[in-house]
Amino acid sequence: MTDIARPRAGRPTAEQAQARQGELLDAALDMFLEQGFELTTMEAVAASVGMTKRTVYARYPDKAALFLASVQRAIERSITPLDGIDDSDLEAALIAIARLRVGNVMTPQGLRLQRIINTESYRFPAIFSMAYDQATKPVIDVLAALLRKHDAAGTIRLDRPDMAANVFMSMAVSGPVRIIVSGNALDPRDIEDRIVFAVRLFLDGARPR
């Protein structure tokens, strides 16, 4: 009977190592949010997850590298999946996209990301671009393609679909997000009302005349 290979005692599997890495980055982001970049130390982050300082430094040469890695993880977890949206009905598709994006920001990880960007982007301007390029721009690209499709079909008339997609995001998503990130609770019915109102106002301006 063939023996099944097992990892040596004390040596974590790849899955365990990945989970520990995520735990470290989540703890780091929490500490950066609670204490700010200046007051957070590599030693404190390591201790919070039961790692040695040496282990953390082996992965991240300094605190800035750890900070950027923790933000990158938060960005990856905030990406809005848009697969499966029916784009035949423009109004319904726009409402669905806005709902998904706002709902994503409202999750605990989404709120943490927005708050760390608000508090530390002056020190690390790159994190704003990182979040935009990976989490926001793909949504805008989907919106622009959707608007181009309906412009070609004659449902709407838009000279600049890419600009229109950016404006739509500002109207339907950025407004509720700013209120939520500032710590003011919005009733789900109020969020829905804001999204539907913004979508219909946007479409009123885009319809052929």
Domain boundary among 49, 76, 103: 76
pLDDT in tens, 84-138: 899 999 999 999 999 999 999 888 888 999 999 999 999 999 999 999 999 999 9
Domain limit, last residue, from 76, 102, 123: 76
Would 1 be classed as within a structural domain? no
Residue with token string 């300094």: 62
Contact between 186 and 180 under an 8 Å Cβ cutoff? The reply is yes
What pLDDT score does 10 carry? 61
Are 119 and 172 found together in one domain?
A: yes
Taking 50 as the pLDDT cut, the residues of the chain under it are 1-7
Final residue belonging to a domain, choices 32, 55, 76: 76
State pTM to two decimals.
0.84
9 located within any domain: no
Considering its fold, how many domains does the chain have in total?
Answer: 2
Does one domain contain both 45 and 93? no
The three-class DSSP label of residue 32 is helix
3-state secondary structure of 133: helix
Q: 81 to each of 71, 77, 145, 157, 160, how far by Cα in Å?
A: 19, 10, 16, 27, 25
Domain span holding position 117: 81-206
3-state secondary structure 179-205: HHHCCCCCCHHHHHHHHHHHHHHHHHH
In a domain, 122, yes or no: yes
The pLDDT value given to residue 3: 45
Q: Do 192 and 126 fall into the same domain?
A: yes
